Structure 1
Amino acid sequence: MEVKIGVQHAPREIVLESGQSAEEVERTVAEALAGKSELLKLADEHGRKVLIPADRLAYVEIGEPAGRKVGFGAL
């Protein structure tokens, strides 16, 4: 699942492919924004962790689950 995170005062957004479901990502973001944790903590498919201060979040865009890519290219 693709997750795009906008951070205040940063010129680029953070994009990561997460193995978590949309509900899990949404719950994690809601907890960070509610003040239950000071950091938004997400992990990508390769095990790398992204930590963002909750008070610096501008937006979080949760994409559709990515389907399996099959084929050899466009015709």
Structure 2
Amino acid sequence: MEVKIGVQHSPRELVIDSPKTPDEIAADVAAAMSGSSKDGLLTLVDERGRRVVVPVDRIAYVEIAQADQRRVGFIAGA
């Protein structure tokens, strides 16, 4: 899944490719935003094992979508 996180006062968004399902990601975001995590951080891990940590008070939005299918190939006989 592709997760886009908008951060306040930042012109760019964070883009993470996560192996989790949309429901799992939404649950992680909801738990962090509700204050269940004592440190006030949203932590997500991408497909390569890299950890992204964002302070929940700086999150503007979170968008969860299917990752784009990148097509690479050649057309024979064109």
Query: Matches of 2:27 and 2:8 in 1, distance apart?
Result: 21
Letter of the structure 2 residue corresponding to residue 20 of structure 1:
K
5+ unaligned residues in a row in structure 2: which ranges? none
> Matched residue pairs, number?
74
Query: Which of the two has higher C-alpha Rg?
Result: 2
RMSD: 2.1
Q: Show structure 1 runs of 4+ deviating over 3 A.
A: 66-71
Query: Matches of 2:16 and 2:3 in 1, distance apart?
Result: 5
5+ unaligned residues in a row in structure 1: which ranges? none
> TM-score by structure 2 length?
0.83
**Identity in percent:** 50
> TM-score by structure 1 length?
0.86
Question: What corresponds to 1:33 in structure 2?
Answer: 33
Q: 2:58 aligns with which of 56, 59, 63?
A: 56
